[in-house]
Amino acid sequence: MDRRKVTLAGLLATLGLAANTATPIFAQTSDPHNRMNIWVGRWRETVELKETAYSHAATIPSQVTCGWSSNQGFMVCEYLHDTTDALSIFRYDDKDKTYKHVGIVKDGKTREEIPVVVEGNLWRYTYQETTKSGAKLDLRDSYEFVTPEKRITRIEVSADGGQHWNLVAEEVGTKVS
């Protein structure tokens, strides 16, 4: 990957959110597995890529479908974009009492399982990408469920170990079914 453009697949494959909302959506359940139900459904999203050193400005329509695996051990989200397709897989680890995430991009690239921080309506995780020149970039995906039918996703990148973050993509998702 070249430093000017982290691939859209890398930015969009495992999407994310900002700022907590005042009213917790998850107050209805104390079961950590059931908290993942907020993802279930079909989502229509508009991805707004920002003009940065890592991305070029563009607006991209997107569809996301999330549902439980057959034995309800995993929440699987399929992202369909004009430029790439990806899977985002979430699970709850009963032993560690943490949420985990794995991302798979259509080109076969798989992200390692990483911890997900869940604070109220905000789901967030950080991972690394390596550019073609060998530089390491930190990426942070945040997903904020503003309501059960509206999600805001933010993807940020840092080239200095997380001291400074640049917003490279933001999306608004609406649950359509």
- Beta bridge partners of residue 119, listed in sequence order: 122
Res 50: pLDDT: 96
Res 132: pLDDT: 83
Segments of the chain with pLDDT less than 50:
1-24, 27
What is the identity of the amino acid at 124?
A: R
30 exposure class (CB count in 10 Å sphere: 0-12, 13-18, 19+): exposed
Any idea where the domains of the chain sit in the sequence?
8-175
Tell me if 130 sits within 8 A of 143, measured CB to CB: no
List CB contacts of 125: < 8 A, sequence separation 6 or more. 14, 16, 101, 114, 115, 116, 117, 140, 141
Res 137: pLDDT: 95
Place of tokens 């991209």: 60
Res 8: pLDDT: 44
Res 53: pLDDT: 87
Res 110: pLDDT: 86
pTM summary value: 0.82
Place of tokens 């920002």: 50
What is 8-175's CATH number? 2.40.128.20
Res 133: pLDDT: 87
